């Protein structure tokens, strides 16, 4: 049977304090007080569902060769491009073979579980990297603004059992409209919560749960971990009780520290459960949206050999509280700030140059001289070795996963950046190679000469005229990073 070989996750570092949201909006929406506890994950200005998917994929593949991957699937309802394959961008950033298949999946909040079901079946033809990532927009002073969370998760699926094997699945597809968002619209339009809870969660989701248990002759009492990725207090517990699943089997939905990450939530909670699961545990994963999916898995003895670092827990641990509600609104694009003259520079995207240099730009592949061993970025026809300017001796040398350190840096309050000051400087990679890089997720106390850094795939710029998003790699403080 197909199964899960490894898992990974990414949660943005910033955690918006819900109390700050409530205090800013209480004059208009005092009813939000009941949701004002805890915090939710918010993406930095240079993050989107593609960059977060890349980080989740890197975490998932940490102990595996990228050459293993045959297909990349990406589920989301908040992808930045409508007509440019977002999974293809992820594939380029991971420096995967051009023979790898890619596909975007969306259109429903259960796209994550629906994609996972198809990926498990497709794994028979070759390893599948199944990713889900979400950065959903919400109106200011809405419940969604407090409930949503930005995050991504990934699973590497193979034809073998791995650390968890598939027992069976059951899907219910019904055009049950709990909310919708037309093409081109910014925000969701939701319906009455009690009706959703009774008709949707209580009937459709229950039908999927009961169906997978009955079809695979598994008793409800045998479920070790019940993962219902449905927002709302008590929804998972109510669904478990109706199905006969033990209350203690219901996993923490992480709503207090992360929020609900839409299509990524089922995979995220599954990855979190696998961090502490033992051999022989049965896990039941439920996704909801225009019906419901139920996926039944069982951990294998190989789960005991799982890695001890990374995953959801490590990503949650690298948190930074954010109480500046205005900063969040600016990062989310809800405010039109006076950016100043320095922000008016526009550079039309040159797609031909991007294609020619896609390995350097998208995957941070530099060059290594086969004669002298000199490493450089970018790769060029002539080596930068001052004692041997060899010609035509360069070979590809990936730098994205190489640790680095700061050689020099500047904190610039004059240049435009959405999160001033702008940090940038010269970094040196372990083993050789230097480059000028922007720094992001940077605290002033973490930026100093010699400080360890790691590279992360981020938004470089957004062209205001065409809407094109330019991606590149930035340096992030390694201390406390994923």
Write out pLDDT tens, residues 116-150. Answer: 999 999 999 999 999 999 999 999 999 999 999 99
Element (H, E) at 144: helix 143-147
Dihedral (Cα; 196, 183, 334, 259), 10-degree rounding: 40
Domain 341-364+399-477 has CATH 2.60.290: no
Is 133 in contact with 56 (CB distance < 8 Å)?
A: yes
Q: What is the largest CA-CA distance in the chain?
A: 75
Looking at residue 479, its pLDDT comes to 66
According to DSSP, the β-strands at 14-17 and 3-10 are unpaired
Q: How far apart are CA 279 and CA 320, in angstroms?
A: 34
Q: How far apart are CA 130 and CA 69, in angstroms?
A: 10
Look at the block and give the residue holding tokens 């300017």.
389
DSSP, residue by residue, 409-454: EEEESSS--SSSSEEEEEEEETTS-EEEEEB-S--GGG--TT-EEE
Element (H, E) at 121: helix 111-122
pLDDT tens, position by position, 409-423: 999 998 889 999 999
pLDDT surpassing 70 at residue 194? yes
Within the chain, which residue ranges are assigned CATH 3.40.47.10? 3-178+190-303+313-331
Neighbours of 126 (CB within 10 A): 15
Tokens for 345?
């520079």
Rounded to two decimals, the pTM is 0.96
Tokens for 15?
């955690």
Residue 261's closest CA among 153, 185, 155?
A: 153
Is 154 in contact with 59 (CB distance < 8 Å)?
A: yes
pLDDT tens, position by position, 3-21: 999 999 999 999 999 999 9
Looking at residue 446, its pLDDT comes to 86
**For 257, phi and psi rounded to 5 degrees?**
-120, -10
Strand partners, 75: 105, 132
pLDDT tens, position by position, 345-392: 777 788 999 999 999 999 999 999 999 999 999 999 999 999 999 999
Tokens for 246?
């033990």
Q: How far apart are CA 79 and CA 183, in angstroms?
A: 12
User: What residues contact 217, with CB distance under 8 A and at least 6 apart?
Assistant: none
pLDDT band at 482 (very low <50, low <70, confident <90, very high): very low
pLDDT tens, position by position, 459-481: 999 988 899 999 999 999 996 54
* Number of helices and strands in the chain (H, E): 13, 22
Look at the block and give the residue holding tokens 């990855």.
271
Residue 119's closest CA among 73, 163, 161, 88?
A: 73
Instruction: Identify the architecture of domain 3-178+190-303+313-331 in CATH.
Output: 3-Layer(aba) Sandwich (3.40)
Tokens for 31?
């009813």
Read off the pLDDT of each residue in 425-452 and give the average, rounded to a whole number: 95
Read off the pLDDT of each residue in 67-87 and give the average, rounded to a whole number: 97
Residue burial 428-439, b: 16+ Cβ < 10 Å; e: rest: bbeeebbbebbb
Within the chain, which residue ranges are assigned CATH 2.40.50? 341-364+399-477
Is 255 in contact with 234 (CB distance < 8 Å)?
A: no
Q: How far apart are CA 226 and CA 420, in angstroms?
A: 43
- pLDDT, averaged across the chain: 95
Q: pLDDT higher for 251 or 343?
A: 251
Strand partners, 180: 189
DSSP, residue by residue, 215-263: HTT--GGG-SEEEE---STTHHHHHHHHHT--GGGBPP--TTTT-B-GG
Residue 398 burial by Cβ neighbours in a 10 Å radius (0-12, 13-18, 19+): middle
pLDDT surpassing 50 at residue 277? yes
């Amino acid at each position: 049977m197909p199964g899960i070989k490894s898992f990974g996750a990414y949660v943005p570092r910033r955690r918006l304090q819900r109390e700050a949201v409530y205090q800013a909006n209480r004059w208009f929406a005092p009813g939000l007080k009941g949701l004002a506890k805890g915090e939710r994950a918010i993406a930095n200005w240079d993050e989107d569902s593609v960059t977060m998917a890349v980080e989740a994929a890197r975490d998932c593949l940490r102990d595996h060769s990228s050459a293993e991957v045959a297909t990349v699937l990406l589920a989301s309802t908040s992808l930045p491009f409508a007509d440019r394959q977002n999974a293809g961008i992820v594939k380029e950033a991971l420096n995967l073979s051009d023979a790898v298949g890619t596909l975007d999946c969306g259109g429903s909040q259960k796209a994550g579980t629906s994609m996972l079901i198809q990926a498990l079946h497709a794994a028979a033809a070759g390893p599948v990297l199944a990713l889900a990532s979400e950065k959903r927009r919400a109106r200011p002073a809405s419940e969604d603004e407090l409930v949503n969370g930005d995050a991504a998760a990934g699973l590497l699926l193979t034809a073998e059992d791995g650390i968890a094997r598939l027992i069976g699945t059951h899907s219910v597809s019904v055009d049950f409209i709990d909310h919708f968002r037309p093409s081109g619209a910014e925000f969701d339009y939701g319906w009455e919560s009690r009706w959703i809870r009774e008709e949707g969660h209580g009937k459709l989701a229950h039908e999927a749960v009961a169906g997978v248990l009955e079809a695979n002759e598994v008793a409800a009492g045998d479920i070790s971990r019940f993962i219902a990725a449905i927002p709302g207090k008590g929804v998972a517990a109510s669904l478990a009780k109706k199905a006969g699943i033990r209350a203690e089997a219901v996993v923490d939905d992480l709503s207090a520290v992360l929020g609900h990450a839409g299509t990524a939530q089922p995979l995220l909670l599954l990855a979190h459960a696998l961090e502490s699961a033992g051999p022989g545990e049965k896990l039941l994963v439920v996704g909801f949206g225009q019906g419901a999916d139920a996926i039944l898995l069982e951990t294998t003895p190989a789960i005991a050999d799982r890695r001890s670092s990374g995953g959801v827990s490590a990503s949650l641990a690298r948190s930074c509280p954010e109480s500046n509600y205005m900063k969040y609104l600016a990062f989310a694009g809800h405010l039109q700030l006076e950016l100043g003259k320095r922000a008016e520079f526009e550079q039309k995207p040159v797609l031909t140059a991007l294609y020619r240099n896609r390995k350097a730009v998208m995957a941070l592949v530099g060059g290594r001289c086969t004669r002298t061993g000199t490493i450089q970025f970018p790769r060029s026809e002539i080596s930068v070795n001052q004692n041997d300017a060899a010609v035509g001796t360069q070979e590809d040398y990936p730098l994205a996963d190489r640790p680095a350190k700061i050689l020099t840096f500047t904190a610039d309050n004059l240049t435009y950046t959405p999160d001033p000051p702008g940090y940038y400087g010269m970094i040196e990679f372990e083993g050789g190679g230097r480059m000028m890089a922007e720094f992001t997720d940077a605290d002033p106390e973490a930026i100093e000469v010699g400080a360890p850094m790691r590279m992360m795939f981020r938004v470089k710029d957004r062209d205001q005229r065409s809407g094109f998003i330019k991606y590149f790699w930035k340096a992030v403080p390694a201390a406390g990073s994923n």
